[in-house]
């Protein structure tokens, strides 16, 4: 607060970039104002534009696809696996054509997509692998952290994320030249070694502020402890007949538990997904009845924005029977988590304090 430099040139931003990149097992970080422009920064630096196809999962937040569309490129929607909620690598393989420039893996809810299969697919086809790791701070696949598998990865620090400054984002990469391209684009087309008023491309100002970096440095110090707390509490909520919780592959040895995701079997639970959500909400438990549609069912794509869709039966059924609850339900003590579990099981109906 005492610094005269609250903007994007305060050394605290560089400190955060280095610390967060190292935390996620990457060499370089470029911090920015949110996790949507960071997707655009990756796509710009990867040279993706009109005529290119980018394979994305049919289930994600809109930015995963809209960032591709904003490049003038074509998102190609493929199905998710029914219970991991992540891109089915076999479907991604089916979607590859000579126009495919990149695959955007999303680590939905925290657990990584099948990185063994997607890294192999990218290697065999020469397609760029990018990660939308907006949900996956601290997540690991066989001991390797989210964001370190492909050419680059994007994280979000938006208000609901497990690390937040209200808004914020970062791109991580192990490729120094790629990082430089992104940094120039998001800093008005400037290049190191030239004056402040030399601009080599029509860039933008996506710089993170020092205030955001300061908050995120403090959040990073607490992240490990908070992930451990959630990993300890999560099993208390599992195990109810009628709810099939997100399947976490054995290769995911660390799950930050951004979302508690599940699918309802109406027959087994004796309650529809919407009745289940209404009951929990009435009991004071925050729950969201999933996205109302797949990404390609959004009005912009239905209205004709260029895209391609492979059959996505799993995605289409999830929008009817899935739900998520936020990570903060796992941040109390064991007794509180057990009370929450009781409400989820329908054993008690009074409000849970706090
Ligand atoms: C998967 C995914 N990608 C990208 C974003 C966009 O991040 P931001 O809200 O920081 O722009 C989000 C959501 O917040 C997200 O859930």
CA of 259 to the centre of ligand 1 (A): 13
Q: How many CA atoms lie within 13 A of 264 on its CB side?
A: 22
Q: Which atom of ligand 1 is nearest to the CA of 157?
A: 10
Ligand 1 pocket, residue 173 CB under 6 Å: no
Q: What is the pLDDT of residue 354?
A: 53
Strand partners for 326? 259
* Phi, psi dihedral angles at 211 (to 5 degrees): -65, -40
Q: Is 64 exposed, middle or buried (0-12, 13-18, 19+ CB in 10 A)?
A: buried
pLDDT given for residue 167 in this prediction? 98
Q: What is the pLDDT of residue 241?
A: 78
Per-residue confidence (pLDDT) for residue 218, from 0 to 100 = 98
CB 91 within 8 A of CB 310: yes
Ligand 1 in contact with 60 (CB < 6 A)? yes
List Cβ neighbours of 155 (8 Å cut-off, separation of 6 or more). 20, 24, 35, 38, 133, 134, 136, 137, 147, 169, 170, 171, 172
Q: Report the distance separating Cα 161 and Cα 290, nearest Å.
A: 16
State if residue 262 touches ligand 1 by the CB under 6 angstroms criterion: no
C-beta 233 within 6 A of ligand 1? no
User: How close are the terminal C-alpha atoms of the chain, in Å?
Assistant: 32
Low-confidence ranges of the chain (pLDDT < 50): none
User: To test the ligand 1 pocket, which listed residue (33, 156, 163, 212) has its Cβ within 8 A of the most ligand atoms?
Assistant: 156
Which pLDDT score is estimated for 10? Answer: 97
- pLDDT tens by residue, 162-199: 999 999 999 999 999 999 999 999 999 999 999 999 99
Question: Which percentage of the chain shows pLDDT scores above 90?
Answer: 92
Q: Assess whether the C-beta atom of 35 lies below 6 angstroms from ligand 1.
A: yes
Alpha-helical (H) ranges within the chain are 11-23, 37-45, 63-70, 89-95, 115-125, 176-186, 210-237, 266-269, 273-282, 299-302, 313-321, 334-344
Ligand 1 and 66: CB distance under 6 A: no
Residue 191 corresponds to which tokens in the numbers above? 């290049």
Say yes or no: CB of residue 134 within 6 Å of ligand 1: yes
Which residues are CB-neighbours of 308 under 8 A, at least 6 positions away?
53, 74, 75, 76, 77, 95
- H/E stretch holding 323 reads strand 322-326
Give the list of residues 6+ apart from residue 285 with CB closer than 8 angstroms, or none: 325, 329, 340, 343, 344, 352
Residue-averaged pLDDT of the chain:
96
- Global pTM reads 0.96
Please write the tens of the pLDDT for every residue from 248-285. 999 999 999 999 999 999 998 889 999 999 999 999 99
For 343, the token pair is: 């409400």
């Amino acid at each position: 607060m005492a610094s005269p430099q609250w903007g994007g040139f305060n050394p605290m931003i560089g400190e955060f970039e280095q610390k967060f990149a190292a935390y996620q097992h990457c060499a370089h970080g470029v911090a920015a104002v949110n996790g949507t422009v960071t997707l655009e920064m990756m796509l710009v630096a990867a040279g993706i534009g009109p005529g290119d196809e980018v394979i994305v999962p049919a289930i994600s937040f809109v930015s995963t696809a809209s960032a591709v569309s904003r490049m003038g490129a074509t998102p190609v929607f493929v199905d998710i696996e029914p219970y991991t909620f992540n891109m089915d690598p076999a479907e991604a393989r089916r979607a590859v054509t000579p126009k495919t420039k990149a695959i955007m893996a999303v680590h939905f809810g925290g657990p990584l997509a099948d990185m063994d299969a997607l890294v192999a697919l990218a290697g065999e086809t020469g397609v760029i692998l990018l990660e939308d790791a907006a949900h996956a701070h601290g997540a690991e696949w066989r001991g390797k952290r989210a964001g370190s598998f492909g050419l680059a990865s994007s994280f979000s620090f938006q208000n609901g994320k497990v690390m937040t400054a209200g808004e914020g984002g970062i791109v991580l990469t192990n490729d120094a030249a790629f990082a430089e391209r992104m940094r120039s684009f998001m800093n008005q087309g400037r290049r190191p070694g030239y004056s402040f008023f030399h601009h080599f491309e029509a860039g933008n100002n996506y710089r993170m502020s020092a205030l955001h970096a300061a908050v995120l440095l403090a959040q990073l110090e607490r992240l490990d402890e908070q992930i451990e707390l959630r990993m300890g509490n999560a099993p208390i909520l599992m195990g109810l007949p009628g709810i099939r919780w997100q399947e976490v592959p054995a290769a995911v040895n660390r799950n930050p538990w951004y979302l508690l995701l599940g699918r309802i079997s109406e027959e087994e639970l004796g309650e529809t997904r919407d009745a289940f959500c209404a009951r929990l909400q009435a009991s004071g438990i925050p729950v969201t009845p999933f996205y109302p549609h797949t990404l390609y069912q959004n009005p912009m794509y239905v209205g004709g924005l260029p895209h391609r869709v492979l059959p996505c039966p799993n995605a289409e059924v999830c929008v009817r029977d899935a739900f998520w609850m936020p990570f903060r339900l796992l941040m109390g003590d064991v007794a509180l988590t057990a009370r929450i579990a009781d409400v989820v099981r329908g054993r008690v109906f009074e409000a849970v304090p706090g």
